[in-house]
Each structure stands twice: as C-alpha cells, then as structure tokens.
Amino acid sequence: MSLCDLNFKNSFVESLPGKEFLPPEEPRPQMTPNVAYSRVSPQPVKNPQLVSWSDAAAELLGLQLGDWTEREAAQIFSGNRICPSMKPYAARYGGHQFGHWAGQLGDGRAITLAEVVNPKGESWEVQLKGAGLTPYSRGADGRAVLRSSLREYVCSEAMFYLGVPTTRALCLVTTGESVVRDMFYDGHPQAEPGAITTRLAPSFVRFGHFQMCAFLSELELLKQTVHYVMDQHFPQFRNPEGKYDYLKWYSHVVESTAQMVVHWLRVGFVHGVMNTDNMSIHGLTIDYGPFGWLDVYDPEWTPNTTDAGQRRYRFAAQPAVAMWNLAQLGEALGPLLGGEAAVHEVLNDYQHSFRQKLLEMMGQKLGFAKGLPPGGIELIEELDRVLRLTEVDTTLFYRKLSELHLQPVKEEDFGHPERWWGVLGEAYYAKSPPEPALEAMGRWLKKYWLQWGVQDESKEDLVGKMNQANPYFIPRNYILQQCIDELEKGETRQLNQVMRALQSPYEENDMTRPFFAKRPEWARQRAGCSDLSCSS
C-alpha cells in the first residue's frame, strides 16, 4: 500500500469558496476577502527525515505499521510529495490576540493536505505545520523550528492519553533546513533546525473563522461556513426538515469548551495563548505554542514570556478567558443566533455549568467518588490557600495524597508533620518548609481525612478512582526540553521514552516511573523549562 491510497476527500475546498495562490517572491501580507481559504502548495524541503511517528494517531487514519515506509512518510508529511487526490489549502481566519482584534490571520504556516476518511467512516483533517509560505504568512517565513514542533507533537499525544480533548499529531519530520529565530526577541537571531509536524483533527476550524466573516460583513460566507461545519461535524443540530438549530449548536460549543478547560485545570495545563484564533470549534486543545504545566502549584503562573506582564492567560484565568472568547464567537454568530440576549443566556448557563463541572472534577481529584461532601467547597478553597504557602509540586501532591490514604495515618497524626512528611514531603520543593505552611497543611489534612473517611467504599477502590483523575506522568517542560536538547544532537532516546511513558499517564510503571519527579533545580530558570517565548 502507498500512503496515497488512503481514502482522501477535500470537503472544505469543495464546499466553500477559495482562490488559487501563487507564493509571492517576498513574503508580504495579503488580504483575501470573500474566501474561506487559499489553495497553496507546500514548499519542498531539502532533506526530510522522519523522526517520530505515533502509531495511535496513525490508527485514526486506518494506517498500520507496514502500510508505509519511512521514506514515503517523510516525503508526504514534509509536503515534498502531494498525492493526486489531495487539494492542499491554507484557511483564512482572524482573531482577538491578547484581548484586541488583530484582523486577518489565517494559516500562516499550516497547510491542510486533505481529509482522510477512515474505515469507520470518520473524517480526519491532515495538516502540516511549518510547510511554507501562504497568503497568511504576514511577513514571516511559514516555517517552524524543531523545538516547538517537538513540543506540539509530544504534547498532542500526551493530552490524548490524559483524556483531554485535543488535536492529534501523526509524526514529526525534520526538514534538513535551518530556520532563523530571535528566540528572546532581543536582537540575537540564530539558525535553528527546522521541522514539520503533521496534525490531525476532525477539523482545524477556529472561532476566528467565523469572526473573520463577521468582521468583513460577509454574511453569506458566514452562513455558508456555519452550514458546512454543522453538516460535516454537527449534523445532530439539524432537524428532520433540514433546519439548522444554531443556538443549540452554539451551546454545544460552549459546553465542550468548558469541558476542555476543566480538563486543563485537572491536569495542570496552561495553554499560554488563548487567542480566539487558537480556539477550536470542536472544543479541542489546539495550537500548542508557549504552553506549560504547573510544576509548583501557582494559579497565577503563565509560561508565556510575551504575557509575563499582564498574565492574561495564567492558569487560573483560563475559565474566564474561555468565556470571553465564547462571547466573541457569539457576537460573530449573532445574526444567526438571534441576537445578544440569546448569547447572554447561553453564557450565563456556561458559568453555572462550568462551576458544577469544576467542583465535580475537584471532588474526583480529592477522591470523593460520589461527589463533594458538605463543606467540600471550603475544603477546595482552603487547599488552594495552603498549597500557595510554600512550593509544592502539583502533580506529585495529588499522587502522594492518594498514597497517604493507604498508610496507617489517623486524624490525630496530622498535628505532627513528621508523621505525614515521609510521603507527602516528596511533593515539597524545600527540604524544611516554613512551620506555618506545614501546620496549615496539617490542619487541612485533618479536615479532609474526616470527610474522606466516612465514604462507604474501600480505601483501595477510592484510591484507584482518585488516581484516574490525577496524572502520574505529564510531559513537563523540562522533560520536553531534554528531548529537544538530545534531538538537536540527533539523538532520540529520551523522545522515544517519553512517547512510551505518555501512553499510560495514570499508571506507575517502568515507563512512567523515571519521570515521576519534581522539576529539577537547573530547570527553574532555564528557557524552555519555566519561560517560553512565542518564537517558534
């Protein structure tokens, strides 16, 4: 079998208006009114090499080992070879960046090859990121560096196994070409290895697709795009007479976005650039850039150095930002949704349902299998305060807490830190944290223990469920940085280990155990580990 024998279709291109695009000699911004996309061809690269391949993502396309050769995969997933039935394009969209309308953005370096219909009849859009210039490149080069490509590739797959709605990543290809980036925007541009990530999703349609039509008052195109997206992906919101229920569909987008953000909070993920052009209409985590994971529990933290002053996209702000973004989507869809009042009503529901979901999720993290007990909200709020008193590792804390349940500790032990420190202490960054922080934790533990203990399931069962809500493995920034450092020297050992570990993120096993550790001290200030620039 050749990869070109996959069952390709091109529904986006065939259903919506677009235009042909010849790349300009020099990159320059181009406005593309009245089209949903521009037809483009990926720009060939010098020496494409397949670095890593996700078998699980390949399965989504109906592909199995042996259906492809490394050489062919490298040619196709670098854009060097286009199969006859592909109609590649770059999509047009706009967006609010950091709260301000930024106008037309679009796929500046992402090129969709086609959609693949798998044997189950599911359709997956196949997109190359870093494949060259498009009309939306806006003065940039259309390329991506290896470090950011690796981060997107690994994290997409990790999020899937963590149970967080996400776009997927099929493979990572190096281009054999270098890309120049000024990583810290401080006037020191450097050549870095280039790469291309192949990503998969039901579609890569963003809030910004609709916003762009609305901004240009292209009502016909707005409607056409909505109908296309609903027909392809949300047929349940069309009644038997064929009428579209726009408001129900919008509510669904609101719900799935809320669900996604609750998952982010559960696993300690900070997206870093929640601009409306980075919000998927499917409620999937999309566009992995300067994202990060909470090592130390700090709800005010954001990994994105560009956002260091304002911290608009900090961990704890994500629910509110999602709501703001949904309001922008609602405004763009306004003419179809029946006006502002209807949008407001849906968003009010969001606030309520978001809180419910959040409390339910926190209940699961704390091991209350049947929901939060009375006083549970206070317990959550107090834990938030206690965890901020000294540096505690978010991931280790919850796993060590579940481990503590299996120890012979009783309520009266929590007044004596030495009786719980042996287990929970491993989550603390300081060897001997300040007394008040330990006392506060002891008080919290005592209250928590009393409420936990009255549940009528066995300890082991409760701990088992708790461990399903609290990851044992997450691809922390420093772990990804180690993969990058190695890969830049041509080694894939750590990357391969991480790709194995991420497949069982809730399990302690030989693959995951080596990664169950606090962020090491060297990573505290190192770029890529604690701070990430948008330069990618």
Which is nearer to Mg ion, 131 or 440 (by Cβ)? 131
CB 305, min distance to Mg ion, A: 17
Which is nearer to ligand AMP, 361 or 534 (by Cβ)? 534
Identity of the residue numbered 98: F
User: Any contact of residue 287 with Mg ion (CB under 5 A)?
Assistant: yes
Task: Indicate which residue of 277, 295, 307, 413 is catalytic.
Answer: 277
* Size of interface with ligand AMP, in residues (CB under 6 A): 16
- Count how many residues are written for the chain: 536
Inter-helix orientation angle 376-387/340-365, to 10°: 80
3-state secondary structure at position 74: helix
Helices (H), strands (E): how many in the chain?
Answer: 17, 14
Q: 143 touches which of ligand AMP, Mg ion, none (CB within 5 to 8 A by kind)?
A: ligand AMP
Distance, in Å, from the CA atom of 329 to the CA atom of 280, rounded to the nearest integer, reads 11
Q: 194 touches which of ligand AMP, Mg ion, none (CB within 5 to 8 A by kind)?
A: none
Site string for ligand AMP, 75-114 (x = CB under 6 A): ------------------------------xxxxx-----
Q: 201 touches which of Mg ion, ligand AMP, none (CB within 5 to 8 A by kind)?
A: none
User: Any contact of residue 104 with Mg ion (CB under 5 A)?
Assistant: no
Site string for ligand AMP, 297-316 (x = CB under 6 A): --------------------
- For residues 171 and 196, the answer to whether their CB atoms sit within 8 Å is no
| Residue in this structure with the two tokens 């399965």, named with its chain if needed | 59
Which is nearer to ligand AMP, 137 or 166 (by Cβ)? 137
User: Any contact of residue 409 with ligand AMP (CB under 6 A)?
Assistant: no
CB 93, min distance to ligand AMP, A: 8
CB 345, min distance to Mg ion, A: 30
What is the DSSP pairing of strand 18-20 with strand 37-39?
Answer: parallel
User: Any contact of residue 291 with ligand AMP (CB under 6 A)?
Assistant: no
User: Any contact of residue 282 with ligand AMP (CB under 6 A)?
Assistant: no
Active site residue 277: yes
CB 273, min distance to Mg ion, A: 7
| Residue in this structure with the two tokens 């206690």, named with its chain if needed | 386
User: Any contact of residue 37 with ligand AMP (CB under 6 A)?
Assistant: no
What is the DSSP pairing of strand 100-104 with strand 94-97?
Answer: antiparallel
3-state secondary structure at position 55: helix
Q: 141 touches which of Mg ion, ligand AMP, none (CB within 5 to 8 A by kind)?
A: ligand AMP
- For residues 124 and 200, the answer to whether their CB atoms sit within 8 Å is yes
Which is nearer to Mg ion, 199 or 266 (by Cβ)? 199
Give me the residue whose beta carbon is nearest to ligand AMP: 108
Which is nearer to ligand AMP, 132 or 442 (by Cβ)? 132
Task: Catalogue the E-assigned strands of 292-348.
Answer: 292-293
User: What values do phi and psi take at 324, rounded to 5?
Assistant: -60, -45
By CB under 6 A, the residues from 143 to 182 that bind ligand AMP are 143
- For residues 44 and 24, the answer to whether their CB atoms sit within 8 Å is no
User: Any contact of residue 289 with ligand AMP (CB under 6 A)?
Assistant: yes
Which is nearer to ligand AMP, 272 or 505 (by Cβ)? 272
Two tokens at 531?
């701070």
Which is nearer to ligand AMP, 139 or 408 (by Cβ)? 139
Two tokens at 50?
């397949």
Which is nearer to ligand AMP, 14 or 182 (by Cβ)? 182
Two tokens at 7?
């069952």
CB 459, min distance to Mg ion, A: 45
DSSP string, 419-466: HHHHHHGGGBSSSS--HHHHHHHHHHHHHHHHHHHT-SS-HHHHHHHH
Interface with Mg ion by CB under 5 A: which range of 107-115, 232-240, 283-291, 404-412? 283-291
- For residues 266 and 363, the answer to whether their CB atoms sit within 8 Å is no
Q: 105 touches which of Mg ion, ligand AMP, none (CB within 5 to 8 A by kind)?
A: ligand AMP
Q: Nearest CA to 532 among 297, 356, 302?
A: 302
User: What values do phi and psi take at 408, rounded to 5?
Assistant: -80, 60
Interface with ligand AMP by CB under 6 A: which range of 5-13, 136-144, 161-169, 295-303? 136-144
DSSP string, 263-293: HHHHHTEE-S---GGG-BTTS-B---SS-EE
CA 421 to chain CA centroid, nearest Å: 34
| Residues assigned a catalytic role | 277
Q: Which residues bind ligand AMP (CB under 6 A)?
A: 105-109, 136-137, 140-143, 273, 278, 287, 289, 534
Q: Which residues bind Mg ion (CB under 5 A)?
A: 278, 287
